[in-house]
A and B are shown apart, each in its own frame.
Chain A
Amino acid sequence: MATYATGLQVEPLTIPFPAPAHLKHAIARLHSVTKRYENTTALDNVTLNLYPGEVVALLGPNGAGKTTAVRLLLGLIAPTSGSVRVMGRDPRDASARTGIGAMLQITRVPETLKVREHIDWFRSYYPTPLPAGEIVRIAKLEGLENKLYGKLSGGQRQRVLFGLALAGNPDLIFLDEPTVGMDIESRRGLWEQIRWLASQSKTVLLTTHYLEEADALASRVVVIDKGRVIAEGTPAQIKQRVSGRRIRCITELDEEFLMALPSVVKVERDREAVIVTAHEAELVVREMLLSDVTLRGLEISAPGLEDAFLALTGKNQPTN
């Protein structure tokens, strides 16, 4: 076990993700994929399987390799080594793309066409597209059909891009940081749409650096950092990776005393309060209350995905 400066302990790195029997055939997979650019390694021996009907969040800080993974799966780039398969085929093969939809970053579509025209245009690329009316309804574009793309607000533009991702009635949808730069209302709106996709048993790969987003949407989270997969599991499993709870209170007890209590791994000061991290919080709190009758402002919290993420990505230096 490694202990990080947060005082939270991280369990050994591999949590085997048990694939349910009926989901054994991956709809898309990266197998031992390494992607190297001239002097940087964007992905380092990454294996990632997407199973039908799941929403997977690829979570990681900027530059972790999330977009590279999506671009590989879309066949926009080729791996340096390893194999990429989408629906059993090489995604660089156009016929493999007929069942895929994508929403990419920094996409600006031509501003001089109307929403309706963009939808009609993109639908023509697919042999069995969704009806235009369906796309408008799902992407919540009612009333905007005859507006030029250039006249839309940021949130509306994202909805158009979301609509284009659905144009071909895809089974597999890639959403690369879909909510970046969105206001809270638009973000919640898109979350609802992603949940709708999940309810239609579409497979969704979502990249994000918002932990909240991964937690809210994903059935499985793959944490990636510096081109490597460092953890994989349900949001709950990822959170469990970080053991210990945080006890925050205002007390006269000194730090040495607190540190000596059973199972305490860390004591830190936060203004007038003290934060104690311990594995057996109940025991520690009982001792503290008995020793200090003036103790007040007691709060006990479990580590969130945020703490797990920080611990996993090693943003705090390890203190071995």
Chain B
Amino acid sequence: MNIHVDIYTFLALTIFALLILTYALVIQVVLLRLFHGYQYKQEQKFFAVWEEKIFMFLEGEEKPQALIKKINRSKYLYLLHFLREFLLMLKGDDFLKLSAIVNDTKIQQFLIAQIKSGSPKKINEAAYYLGLAKSVAAKNILRKKLRSQNASVFLSCALALARLNDVNIIFDIFGNARRFKFVSKDSLLTILSEFTDEICAPLLKNLKSEKNVLIQSITITLFRHFKYYKAGESVLKIMVYSQNKEVIIESIKFFSSIEFMEASTAMRSLINHPKPEVRTEVLKALAVLGNESFEQRIWDCMYDPEYEVQYNAVITLLKLIPSSEEKISQFAYGNRKDRAAAIARMVLSERSIRN
């Protein structure tokens, strides 16, 4: 049998199919909006009822188990959404009482069951709340999930373990992070900075033999975050021999933040580093670590081919040697056509506006 479809019938059928598809999409969007709207209203209703009960719970002697008995299991997530802000922003007795609502009740088993489920969405949500409430009982299952093939599951479980300050798993985090291409240095830093400064000691021990420049750089950034002065000597040794721009820059920032004066000698050679980003960072650090013996070197930097270096040279001179302002001013206004003098005029002008 021959099926002959002319062009008009074909067009009509295509338009009809597209219309059906459009209607289906519109209906899906409307249904989703209605569903989310309904959920939002339910959540707000829950908050309105439970707000005062939770505040009274914070004031009184009620046991968390007794409080949770009054909540249907299907509403656990509403309660967790409500507790989120408090777990993030409160400490002391308030935090202990609120975290007990998660850790000493059926909610903890509910969240651990979510972690055991195969759904990344459920795992991520549960890991988030277990981490926020510092649920020690969830440590083992969270550690296992670090080996997940799903990057978001790895990240959420690593964050939860960091909030639990599970210092022993730092190197598991580094090791597992290598499996994922898009897990960036920034995401790792966000996670690792949730630990307390207890991670600094094992990181320092590891840094002495660490060859991976990304881990070196992250470690030094964390030392800066925690102002870990003890790492000064080791970082100095690494910076002196490193060829990696990131490692050198992070080291300089670290020295500046802890005012590690022993690093100022090393800065003398780095001031001529081939990378302009390094020269810029050295100048910024010299404002803190330098002394008058650097004056001529900094003046030389005003003739650097890179604008950022020239700009920071003027700023550093003004910060390090306040008496140099007059000399800079003479230079700036006495050499109208000189590029370095123009930059100096710009800095002086910005400074006078700020003052």
Whether chains A and B associate is no
Using a CB–CB cutoff of 8 Å, the interface residues on chain A facing chain B are none
